[in-house]
Copies of this chain bind each other. A is one copy, B any other.
Amino acid sequence: MTDSAHLTHVDEAGAARMVDVSAKSVSVRRAVAAGRLRTTSEVVDLLRRDGLPKGDALAVARVAGIMGAKHTPDLIPLCHPIALHGVTVDFELAGESVEITASAKTADRTGVEMEALTAVATAGLALIDMVKAVDPAASIEGVRVLRKEGGKTGDWVRPEDRP
Interface residues of A (CB under 8 A from B): 1, 5-11, 13-23, 28, 35, 42, 45-47, 50-60, 62-64, 66-71, 73-90, 105-109, 113-114, 117-118, 121-122, 124-126, 128-134, 136-145, 148, 156, 158-159, 162
| B16–A63 touching, CB < 8 Å | yes
A126 to B89 CA separation, bound complex (whole angstroms): 18
A63-B60, A105-B22, A145-B137 given; A46·B5 CB < 8 A: yes
Tally of this chain's copies: 6
- Please give the distance in Å from A138's CB to the nearest CB on chain B: 7
A139 to B144 CA separation, bound complex (whole angstroms): 5
| A64–B76 touching, CB < 8 Å | yes
- Please give the distance in Å from A23's CB to the nearest CB on chain B: 8
Further pairs besides A17-B87, A54-B59, A76-B126: 7, Cβ < 8 Å: A1-B46, A8-B133, A9-B129, A16-B57, A59-B59, A64-B76, A67-B74
